[in-house]
Structure 1
Amino acid sequence: MFASDDQTLFRILESCKLRPNFRTAVSVHGKMIKHGYGMYPLLLSMLIKVYIACEKLSFARQLLDDICFLDFKVVSANLLIDGFMRVGEVDIAKKVFFALPARDVVTWNSTIGGFVRNRLFLEAINMFKEMLGTNIEPDGFTFSSVITACSRLGALNHGKWVHGLMIEKKIEMNYILSSALIDMYSRCGRIETAKRIFYAARRTDISIWNAMINGLAMHGLAIDAISMFSSMEGENIAPDCVTFIGILTACSHCGFVEKGREYFNLMQKGFSIQPQLEHYGAMIDLFARAGLSEEAYAMIKEMPMEPDVVIWRALLSSCRTHKNTELGEVIVSKIKNLGSEDYVLLSNIYCSIKKWDNAETVRYNMRKKGVHKSTGKSWVELHGAIHHFKAGDRSHKETEAIYRVLEALIHRTRMEGYVYVPDLVMMDISEEEKEENLNYHSEKLALAFGILKSSPGTEITISKNLRTCLDCHCWMKIVSKLILEFERHEISRRVVSLRTENSCLKGVVMIILENE
């Protein structure tokens, strides 16, 4: 048996955490209670982390219920919040946070950063606003997390506000904050602002270069990304594996197949960087977008590691675009754990060649296995608030007005020659039903709301969690042109832009600027 003093127990628990050992942890827990250490916050904190490491979350939750009644030290609570956030137990972390009578800047940072890590970006921004109402001043780590949240939401106005607060509070700019700002402005469609921040920063850390190259890649500015890559050599900055992900992505978005091959080879021969899964993924995406499905499949078979579902999905998406049913079926057989997106892609491949029975079989299997299609969502940021929409959504309090505006826009675009794309509706239904299905996509509702609630000269930026469909893309270009033409008579402008999570930003934004 081991000694029973609290420091010894703590050291044993530490070893249990490094090498998860549930049986020993339970034994230590019993010793803690037996020798009067059952309510020692430091031991409880470590014990909870051990239970988490052992994947015994029910034990951790029970301990947490006891902890919330203790006079907890802030340092121990911070460790707990961070630990729970890292394993995705957000509700438990919040419980610790709100149970604390006093919090320091680390408490707030652990909570805000935890929200960002768990993709709860709006919650992170709201928590930051709550922090500003206390006597705790945010630091560089706080701002880095909040800027990332604004970036992922596409919340440009919130991002500008946070950037302004940084300047107001004289937060020292470092490579972490510079990179976060470059990423935020790039993702929010402000590539020129991102460039200004890049050239104003001390460019001694590779992360700043990576943020800029990835930002240019997002916007489909492959030539600029390639030029930026060349500039690194002049400033004695060696590219790393992340740099090559950015440059290969830029080549993929612009169809630079030969350039992509060149950089893939350069990474290995010129810089001795062994390609990782992400690099192979970028190359396969490059081949797939260019219609070189067989070449992409050949690369997958030659990879030194097992391809993940993202790689298979990129190739499956190419099979849908180019109606390659045979290869699509082969790919699906290779994916060990099919997700909703894989089922939908295969179903859409069948629908694109009018094999409705095969498509229905795929969807039947989805229902049988309890797999649900990811819901497309769009959101628009106006007047300091973010409004979310789903396809056919009627939950908004101003639904009637939104639909009236949308129907007026659809009528006006038809007069301009807009014709919906029926092939995008992957269902065996009538033409009228297909058109109605496309008319009420989430991004169209978000745009109608933006026009309804904004005044001339306002910029409307729409974000979406999935890639926007071709029909909405084409429709928005016509709406953008109509609004610009109408408001020129008022000597004012409104710019409508569309940002999608997983695709190049160039589309609508660049076309609108050309129309101006």
Structure 2
Amino acid sequence: MSRKWAYPFCDNFTFPFVLKACALLLAVEFGNSVHGKIMQMGFCSDPFVQSGLVRMYGEFGEIDKCRKLFDEISERDIVLWNTLIGGYLKCGALEEAEKIFQSMGNKNVGSYNAMLGGYVKLGCVEMASTLFNEMSVRDIISWNTMIGGHARFGLVEMARKLFDEAPGQNVATWSVIISGFSQGSRFGEALEMFKEMLVEGVMPNQAILVSVLSCCAHLGALEQGVWIHSYIEKHGIEVDDVLGASLIDMYTKCGFLRGAISLFETIKTKGVSSWTSLIYGYAIHGHSLEALELFSEMKSIGILPNRITFVAVLRACSHAGLVDRGREIFDEISRVHNIRPTIEHYTCMVDLLSRANLLDEAQEVIKEMPMKPDLFVWGALHGGSRIHGEKCLLEDEDEDVRKELASLEPKDSGAYILMSNIYASNDQWDNSMKMRRTMEEMGVKKILGCSSIEVDQNVHEFSAGGRLHSHSEKIYDTLDHIYREIQI
């Protein structure tokens, strides 16, 4: 569409809708162009246009422009105040959002919901609970925000309590608790809630189906996943690109690659998500050449790869040791598709080079990264050095790097264990034990290993040394008896 004749018929009634569309689509460049035209046509003082501009820049995350426009408006309604709060929260500026919230004269339920959503998004669940308890009026959005937040951060009992207390539960309420449990890695609880929802006669939406399929994938619950697939077909639910990708991901991670391939062939409208899921499936099953062939086929029919696609393809190269092909694909990310490589892409490259015993080149990649390396990057480098029996991962002069690595995740046992293993691989046993003692002093506990088994569509999880499962006592008592018999 030519911009020369795109605007003549726009007025102060039309521009708010255009600005809303720009905000929803995150069309930053076009939104800036529309703003320029608004100024040129003299609609800057219209309250509806002003509100649209504030909302648009808030969605863009350009909070300085958002605040400047807000300050220029003489008459501000409650919607405009809520929009500004949402803009600050979107940028992670919690303190500024709180100041604006406190300075508001009249607050409505939308004002409180904006703050609740911000607290939950930033992990401040206790602060959200305090504000929630202060609310004299709550709507379903208030309840759903709190339910989803507690579920996502593993607060199972409180999430369930809020769910049971929520008035007027709807499919969105079920969706937030199921997706919350899924995002919080409480996959068993998510599947139990899904079953309960079906018993209550509530029809799941696509978001719920995607969440429970993800749970099946993580647990390896193939039988449950197949049943959900049958449910989708029985109720005539359309398998679009997103749902199709979730089904493919479930089948591949449950070890049924053939089922994933068959499903892929039946999807009528395949988008980048479906193609990427199958490419990733081939990669994790060791079929790297098939993954690369599918990648080429996808591009040949005009499907443009995204960031996740390149992660899947680079992983395929890493598993097969295709160093040259991996270098070409990594270069293609930015040169051909104008995508800025993320830390996941760099991690794949470090893993690829390290596995191929190109440790010097892998370390050069780390040095040239535009962002700080994280635990996964260092883990990939260390993993490669261990495969090839190398002890030159971090020399004595790289003590600064060691300290930086140790400070990456101060409460995550993975960083400490990785550092301990690095020291051990370099025969620095005193430093290795010191790192383990530091873990104990800081109260950092190693995450227990966990396994699961599916019996009659019920997933049973067992943790290392755990006795929480109803059958754990019987299992461990049997093992103790066998051990005593052997000793005798």
TM-score by length of 2: 0.71
1:139–1:171 CA contact under 8 A, matched in 2: no
1:368 maps to which residue? 441
Gaps of 5+ in 2: 1-70, 89-95
Tell me how far apart the structure 2 counterparts of residues 322 and 406 of structure 1 sit (CA, whole Å): 39
Tell me how far apart the structure 1 counterparts of residues 248 and 100 of structure 2 sit (CA, whole Å): 48
Give the aligned residue type for 1:22.
Answer: E
Tell me how far apart the structure 2 counterparts of residues 303 and 274 of structure 1 sit (CA, whole Å): 11
2:132 maps to which residue? 64
CA distance 1:54–1:10, change in 2 (3 Å):
farther
1:186–1:215 CA contact under 8 A, matched in 2: yes
1:280 maps to which residue? 346
Corresponding residue SS for 1:21: helix
Corresponding residue to 1:18 among 78, 83, 87: 87
Q: What's the offset of the Cα at 1:349?
A: 4.3
1:129 maps to which residue? 195
1:191 maps to which residue? 257
1:493-508 correspondence runs (5 A): none
Q: What's the offset of the Cα at 1:9?
A: 4.1
1:320–1:328 CA contact under 8 A, matched in 2: no
Gaps of 5+ in 1: 412-431, 433-516
The aligned length equals 394
Tell me how far apart the structure 2 counterparts of residues 393 and 47 of structure 1 sit (CA, whole Å): 39
2:385 maps to which residue? 319
CA distance 1:21–1:250, change in 2 (3 Å):
same
CA distance 1:133–1:53, change in 2 (3 Å):
closer
Tell me how far apart the structure 2 counterparts of residues 362 and 341 of structure 1 sit (CA, whole Å): 12
Give the aligned residue type for 1:341.
Answer: G
Tell me how far apart the structure 2 counterparts of residues 74 and 370 of structure 1 sit (CA, whole Å): 39
CA distance 1:402–1:294, change in 2 (3 Å):
farther
Cα deviations by residue, 1:157-210 (Å, 9 ceiling, x for unpaired): 111121121122221111111000000000000111000011111253111100
Moved more, 329-338 or 235-244: 329-338
1:393-408 correspondence runs (5 A): 396-400=472-476, 403=479
Tell me how far apart the structure 2 counterparts of residues 205 and 75 of structure 1 sit (CA, whole Å): 32
Q: What's the offset of the Cα at 1:88?
A: 7.5
Tell me how far apart the structure 2 counterparts of residues 170 and 307 of structure 1 sit (CA, whole Å): 46
Corresponding residue to 1:227 among 293, 301, 307: 293
Give the aligned residue type for 2:408.
Answer: N
1:381 maps to which residue? 454
Give the aligned residue type for 1:26.
Answer: Q
1:22–1:54 CA contact under 8 A, matched in 2: no
CA distance 1:230–1:136, change in 2 (3 Å):
same
Q: What's the offset of the Cα at 1:243?
A: 1.5
Q: Does 2:278 align with 1:212?
A: yes
Corresponding residue to 1:299 among 325, 342, 365: 365
CA distance 1:42–1:25, change in 2 (3 Å):
closer
Q: What's the offset of the Cα at 1:76?
A: 4.8
Cα deviations by residue, 1:90-142 (Å, 9 ceiling, x for unpaired): 76654442212321112211221222222221111111111112132112222
Tell me how far apart the structure 2 counterparts of residues 305 and 351 of structure 1 sit (CA, whole Å): 28
Tell me how far apart the structure 2 counterparts of residues 185 and 260 of structure 1 sit (CA, whole Å): 26
Q: What's the offset of the Cα at 1:292?
A: 1.9
Tell me how far apart the structure 1 counterparts of residues 462 and 224 of structure 2 sit (CA, whole Å): 19
CA distance 1:271–1:232, change in 2 (3 Å):
same
Corresponding residue to 2:186 among 103, 120, 131: 120
1:82-481 correspondence runs (5 A): 82=148, 93-328=159-394, 330=398, 331-335=401-405, 336-338=407-409, 339-351=412-424, 356-392=429-465, 396-400=472-476, 403=479
2:31 maps to which residue? none
CA distance 1:391–1:128, change in 2 (3 Å):
closer
Moved more, 14-23 or 390-399: 390-399
RMSD of equivalent CA atoms: 3.3
Corresponding residue SS for 2:393: helix
Corresponding residue to 1:48 among 112, 116, 119: 116
Tell me how far apart the structure 2 counterparts of residues 222 and 106 of structure 1 sit (CA, whole Å): 40
CA distance 1:135–1:389, change in 2 (3 Å):
closer
Corresponding residue SS for 1:147: helix
Cα deviations by residue, 1:57-85 (Å, 9 ceiling, x for unpaired): 54431232355x86x54355345545666
Corresponding residue SS for 2:130: helix
Corresponding residue SS for 2:382: helix
Cα deviations by residue, 1:408-435 (Å, 9 ceiling, x for unpaired): xxx9xxxxxxxxxxxxxxxxxxxx9xxx
2:113–2:141 CA contact under 8 A, matched in 1: no
